[in-house]
Structure 1
Amino acid sequence: MLVSAKQQAMILPLKRPGEDPTAEAASGLQSAALQALRDNVQAQASQGSAHVQDAFTRRATQQVNAATAISDNVDEAFAKTRVQLQAVASSASEEAKKIGSTALAEFKDYMSKTPEERLRDSILEEMGISEEEFEAMPPEKQMAVSQEIAQRMQDKSAMAQVEKTQENRTSDKDPATDMFLASL
């Protein structure tokens, strides 16, 4: 017997709608189940979206409230700082006026003194003695301090003369020498 190597294709007869009542019933049930499933999913989605929307609204409200609280705290801290700065500024300006008037009085007092009195005051300051302390000393100590002041005044005067003499000698030099030395 001869066997053919070719396979025969199986062709199933196509059924037309209405020919198989079982297929029709299964198809109807399937489409009804799909429609019920779609309705159920839509209902859950709408409920879920309502829940999500409520949760989102609550969260947004909480964030707005938190931001408002932070903003209020910042505004309050700024106001407190501003009040403190104004208080410090007003007290500082009052103190500056006091210091300014004191400094002005001291300057006027200093400028009203003769150069000898200024020198005497600076020597007393170097010695660590105030004018009040000097006047409170016994006469013998006052005499010793006065002699020390006189000696220091003479020393300073002599030093000033030496410096002046050296300046004059420096200015008497040849300008070419100064230029040469400056170029080095």
Structure 2
Amino acid sequence: MLVNNNAQALSTVQQLKRPDMDPANAAASALYSGALQVAQQSVTLPAAQKELDKAGDRIDEAFAKTRVHMQAGSARSEFTDYMTKTPAERIRDQLLKERGLTLEELNAMPAEQQQAFAKEVSERFKQQQQQQVAAKTADPQAQAVKETLAAI
């Protein structure tokens, strides 16, 4: 809380609160007193408020820049591509990345290597499903909380 030790301002506020005033004058006096306090605060707060405003502006600007980059850049298209893939395709892409291969290189491999790769993808997919089932059955109450939070 800011304290104004200005004796003139305090005496002005005190003069406005006289008990001999009628209710209308007392109300007007109270309004004037409030306006006076706001005026005094505006004299003492602007430096701090300006810094807060600048910080807020910088944050807003950073978010705006990030949003523009997301919309214009490849990140958005990559995210959209990722989200449209099936879980098996995601696992395939992860395995390709782990091995340093591209999809074209995989397609150029002999059929038996492609089948072995497809088998590994299906095994990982099964493991992932089993982990999800185990997580759901391990603690049904925790899973219910997670689902509720996800729904929100």
TM-score normalised by structure 1 residue count: 0.34
Pick 1 or 2: higher relative contact order, CA cutoff 8 A, min separation 6: 2
Give 1 or 2 for the bigger CA radius of gyration.
Answer: 1
